[in-house]
Structure formats: structure tokens, C-alpha cells
Structure 1
């Protein structure tokens, strides 16, 4: 039996705006609203289903990307003037990391979700 993550619900104060942010920065398509959700689908079929909520507790989402995708994501982060860090605790601003022979960057979404793009999975 294979167990795969299919979807996760992401709480946001404005589901459409948060979905658009994820889609734009990560280069993913924002889907049509479905019930109370606005979906953004990753290339592996997992959907991030954004839902309006008055209480949003920031979560961490890490995305494994190719070097080319990292370059594109990082360019969009810098172009948008988004603060970024080399670490999840946000102690190294304006830097990226080079863990496990790859590159990684952390940045926050407008709703305080801690996002990470990495080119090499952690051991």
C-alpha cells in the first residue's frame, strides 16, 4: 500500500489573496474556487486548499524544487521585495543556505506561513 499526501487546508484571512501569493511565487496555477476552497496544485498532485479563517496560525510548508525553479522562485521573491532568510528561525536575513549540497531559502506569506524552497532534500 502506498500512502500519499493528497491535500492540506491552509487557513488565510483572504483565501484568494493567499492562494495568488503561493501561486505567483512558486509558479503554480491557482485553480477555480471549489466549495469554501481556492486550490493551488503542486506538480505532484498535492493541493493546497486555501480557506478563509478569522484565526490563522502560521504553518511551515517546504517545497523541493529544481535548480531552475529555485532561480525563478528566488527571483520572484527578490522582485516582490519579500524578506528572506537562510534559516527557519529567521536569524540570517538576506541569505540563502547551502545544506546538503543544494540551496534553500525561507520566506513568509502574507498570512505568516513560513515557506521554504530547497533544491536538495534534507537527510
Structure 2
């Protein structure tokens, strides 16, 4: 339990924020914070480097820079860049140097990475 500083301004802040009250540490407050955290993770959205569409992270393919080359990796460490699962988005991102820009370094884009995509557009 935290205590507030005994100045008029601090007391107003403490009362408004619930600091020091029993309610701030209650089970209901902890459940609300946990639920809020879980929903924000479930709705994590990323932007496609090719078309700019925002989509849930699970719908996109993630790439990272690995030893100067673009490499797929959902769980790879480091700065990542995402594209939709369409070949056109991958090709557009490569043509416009979006991978270099988002990763903040020059990376070699291997054309063989196109095999990760299924072109649903026809």
C-alpha cells in the first residue's frame, strides 16, 4: 500500500488515481488489468510493408535481418517487418526497398523467399 505526499495537489492526485486505497489492489482490479492485457495481445496488429494494410499479427508473415539477408522468422529476435500472405505484397515491398527502410539496414532479398507465398489473386 502506497502513501501519498501530504500536499493539497498530491492528495487530489492520490484520491483520483486510487493510490493508497484498498480498491487499487483488490482482486477485481487485478482481474480487470489481466483481462485488459490479454485482449491487447490477442488484437496485436501490424502493418504490411507491401500494401500498408493493418492486420492481426497472425495473418502476416514476419521477416528479420539475419547476417545481412532477409530471413523469415515469427519468433526470431530483433526488429521485424511484416507482409501479407500475398506474393504481390512481398514483391512490392522488395521493389520499393521497404524491407531496408523498416529494418533500418540494407538486406539482401533472396527471390527464393517467394516460395513462402500463395498468390490468392490468381
Structure with greater Cα Rg: 2
Same fold (TM over 0.5): no
| TM-score normalised over the length of structure 2 | 0.27
- Of structures 1 and 2, the one with the larger relative CO (CA 8 A, separation 6+) is 1
Q: TM-score, normalised by structure 1?
A: 0.27
- Which protein is richer in strand relative to its size? 1
